[in-house]
Amino acid sequence: MPAVDAAGEFETIQKLLRPLAHPDYARGLADDVAVLPSRPGFDLVLTKDAIVEGVHFLPDDPLDTVAQKLLRANLSDLASKGAEPFGYLLACHWSPRCGWPEREAFAEGLATDQAAFGVQLLGGDTVLTPGPASFSATLLGWLPKGEAVSRGGARPGDAVYVTGTIGDGWLGLQAAQGRLSLEPERVEALAERYRRPVPRVVFGRAVRGLVTAMMDVSDGLVGDLGHVARASGAAITLDLELTPRSAAAQAWLESRTDPEAALERLVTGGDDYELVLTVSPRDEAAVKREADRLHLRLTRIGEVQAGAGVSARYLGQALTLSRTGWTHD
């Protein structure tokens, strides 16, 4: 016998989700489909991510931040292609903890990020589950035809750069779980970074024609560099000491007795949602100018060489990493 939706499926759609719907293409969320017109000269880019309570977010995380993390993880994928975000399809699997106030918070989180990133809801589905709660979104974006950036364009001689800071996502999970001994403001900043990462959508579009390869850092910097190296048929060397760190991450690092092992945790932890990119020497200055224009931190962390795989150095010495990053296996 199907579960009864105490909060009301149709009330949820009409009162919370319909105000988020695209005014032209979502058909008022009163139909089974959205209808999109073609856009001559452009490719439609699609990506999909799901987040599950207890795996990607904590059971006591506020649902507005859960909604925002869902959208931002997908937006980060669009950013890595250099795409312009357009809209999304949403699936909500509400658990018993998702009453009306929690659903309102979820919709408020979506509304905030729709305004921030220029996307609108196109449709989807809501169902009940005994738990855990889970949500998925399919994001759609536009790209000038044939201009999608791939993982596979890195070439020997290219420089490797990363935006923002690395390690805050993994540290933020420890902070949200109450497992960090740092000043309260730093713990709060790290937990916020875990719950609400910042996708680099504008920068991704700005450097679309300047980079040779690009992807977002979701499963750990080392693991994601491995994807680039594999797709490109090249080797990548990472200089661990150059990896950019926030003030909070630096404070944590300075409290560790083994800096090499601590750095390894930061570059393999995941959930950073920064962009890692490879750039030919002739375009480095232009890429740096775009980062400066957007007031975005951009750090050179390594180089592409002939060969295969990812290797790491620490202060010039080769280092064997014990892990590469997060997997769902």
pTM for the model = 0.91
Q: Is 227 labelled a binding residue?
A: no
The reply to whether domains 9-144 and 159-319 share a CATH topology is no
For residue range 126-144, list pLDDT tens digits in order.
999 998 999 999 999 999 9
Q: Is 124 labelled a binding residue?
A: yes
Q: Is 212 labelled a binding residue?
A: no
Please give the pLDDT value at position 209: 95
Q: What's the pLDDT band for 173 if we cut at 50, 70, 90?
A: very high
Q: Is 32 labelled a binding residue?
A: yes
Domain boundaries, the chain: 9-144, 159-319
For residue range 223-277, list pLDDT tens digits in order.
999 999 999 999 999 999 999 999 999 999 999 999 999 999 999 999 999 999 9
Q: Is 49 labelled a binding residue?
A: yes
Q: Is 125 labelled a binding residue?
A: yes
Q: Is 56 labelled a binding residue?
A: yes
SS (H, E, C) the chain: CCCCCCCCHHHHHHHHHHHHECCCCCHHHCCCCCCCCCCCCEEEEEEEEEEEECCCECCCCCHHHHHHHHHHHHHHHHHHHCCEEEEEEEEEEECCCCCHHHHHHHHHHHHHHHHHHCCEEEEEEEEECCCCCEEEEEEEEEEECCCCCCCCCCCCCCEEEEECCCCHHHHHHHHHCCCCCCCHHHHHHHHHHHHCCCCCHHHHHHCCCCCCEEEEECCCHHHHHHHHHHHHCCEEEEEHHHCCCCHHHHHHHHCCCCHHHHHHHHHHCCCCCEEEEEECHHHHHHHHHHHHHCCCCEEEEEEEECCCEEEEEECCEEECCCCCCCCCC
For residue range 78-128, list pLDDT tens digits in order.
999 999 999 999 999 999 999 999 999 999 999 999 999 999 999 999 999
Q: Is 271 labelled a binding residue?
A: yes
Q: Is 272 labelled a binding residue?
A: no
Q: Is 61 labelled a binding residue?
A: no
CATH number of 9-144: 3.30.1330.10
CATH number of 159-319: 3.90.650.10
